[in-house]
Structure 1
Amino acid sequence: MNQENAMNTQQVDALEEKLVQVNRVAKVVKGGRIFGFTALTVVGDGNGRVGFGRGKAKEVPIAIQKAMENARRSMVEVELNNTTLWYPIKAKHGSANVYMQPASEGTGIIAGGAMRAVLELAGVQNVLAKCYGSTNPVNVVRATINALSAMESPETVAARRGKKVEEIS
């Protein structure tokens, strides 16, 4: 049991965290407005694991802390082709549409705002990406993570079909 806890602690320490957005929200009550904060964060190990979380609180640091904890709990695996994607992919969440395509070595991450944070923390180093429609950071992050988690390597596809990689290429 102690070894498992030590391993989880090491995994948590190896994670990088990025704050994508902090938003002030107001609840209107009879006596006036009550202000609170929401935070959107992305967490990843730079090696194919990434997750996002949202936190709400009356103060910014607490909201960020809650968002980080939620992000660690919602990690997903991403199958990468070294430092880029396997193939061009599209995804949608709400009104946010994202398109990503693999890029050659040395291209870097050509993506905007919220997408960039997800791609960096997932370990993607060379990619061309574009966001269409809504640029709401929450929906863009969700769409990006949906696209990355839906991507499969040729080996995975071949194994699922019961064929060799050469047969499906």
Structure 2
Amino acid sequence: MRHEIIDASQLELNDKVVSIKRVSKTVKGGRTMRFTALVVVGDGNGHVGVGLGKATEIPEAIRKGKEDATKKLIKVELDANNSVPHDWTGVFGSASVLLKRAPEGTGIISGGPARSVLEMAGIKNIRTKCLGSRNKQNVVLATINGLKQMKSPEEVAKLRGKSVEEILA
């Protein structure tokens, strides 16, 4: 598993708010309301990250979510037609997201939470299916988990001690 630190200052990052939830905590004097924002950031060129921000006001929660997401950027492997190199299932909690390769011209066939992650990563052709839980936060994290575990043909060839042609055959 490769975990390289990505310098976010050199990337032109866009962000997308996936969900905003109002959460409350019951204390002696009544309820205190807060907001949690699930934010996805990416450069549209193979870098994507997800963050969760919590605050008493929505803009502050979004800002904190963006900050958290830029700290957790990952590099996504893309093939020649801006799809994933192979089929894979990402799992987080009880949510699973099946990521399937697609030929040029397919577009992003995906549900809302997973779609925002794939768009921010710069993937143009992919088919996905949510299996298990439909919880937005878990679906987004399962998608990130699946993308993180993708390996390029070069990496697989290196691990197996073979050439790329042997792997793709």
Q: Same fold (TM over 0.5)?
A: yes
Instruction: Point out the structure with the larger helix share.
Output: 1
The one-character-per-residue Cα deviations of 1:54-111 (angstroms, maximum 9, x if unpaired) are: 0000000000000000000000111111311111111211010110111111111010
Q: TM-score, normalised by structure 2?
A: 0.91
Q: Do structure 1's residue 18 and structure 2's residue 8 form an aligned pair?
A: no
Aligned equivalent of 2:146: 147
Cα RMSD (Å): 1.2
Q: Counterpart in 2 of 1:63?
A: 61
- Distance (Å, rounded) in 2 between the aligned partners of 1:84 and 1:22: 29
Alpha-carbon distance in 2 for matches of 1:17, 1:158 = 34
Secondary structure in 2 matching 1:20: strand
1:98 lines up with 2:120 in the alignment: no
One-letter amino acid matched to 1:158:
A
Instruction: Report the alpha carbon displacement of residue 163 of structure 1 after superposing the two structures with TM.
Output: 1.5
CA distance in 2, matches of 1:66, 1:58: 11
Give the whole-Å Cα distance in 1 for the aligned partners of 2:69 and 2:134. Answer: 20
Indicate the residue corresponding to 1:123 in structure 2. 122
Asked if the contact 2:22–2:35 (Cα under 8 Å) also holds between the matched residues in 1, the reply is yes
Q: 1:36 aligns to what SS in structure 2?
A: strand
Q: Aligned residue for 1:161?
A: 160
CA positional deviation for 1:162: 2.1
Distance 2:65 2:96 in 1: 24
Aligned length: 161
2:46 partner letter: G
Amino acid at match of 2:104: E
Unaligned regions of 5+ residues in structure 1, if any? Answer: 1-6
TM-score by length of 1: 0.91
Stretches (4+) displaced over 6 A: none
- In 1, the alpha carbon distance for the partners of 2:62 and 2:49 equals 14
Q: Percent identity?
A: 53
Q: For residue 92 of structure 1, what is the amino acid of its counterpart?
A: V
